[in-house]
Amino acid sequence: MTTFPRLRTTSLTLREWRETDAPRALKLFQNHSITRMLTSKPHPFTKADAEAFLQTAIPGDLNEAVNWAVELQGEVIGGVGARPLNDTPGIGWWLAEEHWQKGIMFEAVSEALRYLLLERELPKIVADAFSDNMGSQALMRKLGFVHTGQGMGSSVARLAGDYPTEEFAISPLDFIAAQQLRVQEAAQ
């Protein structure tokens, strides 16, 4: 694949990351409420950290990984990424705190899953969340992810050590079933 898969929803654009996004990434990742739920973003988050983040997020081999900047009304408010696409990929996301619990990540991740599971025809995608990240766990269940177990993970924004995680997986059939359920619920 050579063209970045730019995606659009009713209110969002999922697009490639750019070097010009560094100031916005820096501002967003300086929020400890965000970084403590991620494995690889330190707190405090510095300008050098923002530049390093963009070096990994800016499109490379699209057969290996895809990382979207999530835009709302022209402003980056979060991100969604999946890798390794040539194996069983893991998907992850983050969102500016002022946009939590407004359905934005549901909209963004739904579109990313539609692309990955239905267009790219990946057989399964996995995800995990720290056990204290109730928002991401609820989102995964709403999207159709199935809880597969528990594990342990670390975060460079938390105190040293491992923390319990909840592990999930989704197949194309799980995703379609969840979509159909939402349509049925809306019709009632």
pLDDT tens digits along 126-169: 999 999 999 999 999 999 999 999 999 887 777 777 899 999 99
- Give me the number of domains the chain comprises: 1
Q: In what order do the strands lie in the sheet with 146-153?
A: 7-8, 12-16, 66-72, 75-83, 90-95, 125-130, 163-170, 146-153
| CATH at 145 | 3.40.630.30
pTM greater than 0.95: no
Residue ranges making up the domain that contains 37: 7-187
pLDDT in tens, 101-134: 999 999 999 999 999 999 999 999 999 999 999 9
- Report residue 42 as tokens: 């330190």
Q: Is the pLDDT of residue 42 over 90?
A: no
What are residue 113's phi and psi, to 5 degrees?
-65, -40
Asked whether residue 1 is assigned to any structural domain, the reply reads no
Asked whether residue 2 is assigned to any structural domain, the reply reads no
Supply the pLDDT for residue 1: 58
pLDDT in tens, 172-186: 999 999 999 988 888
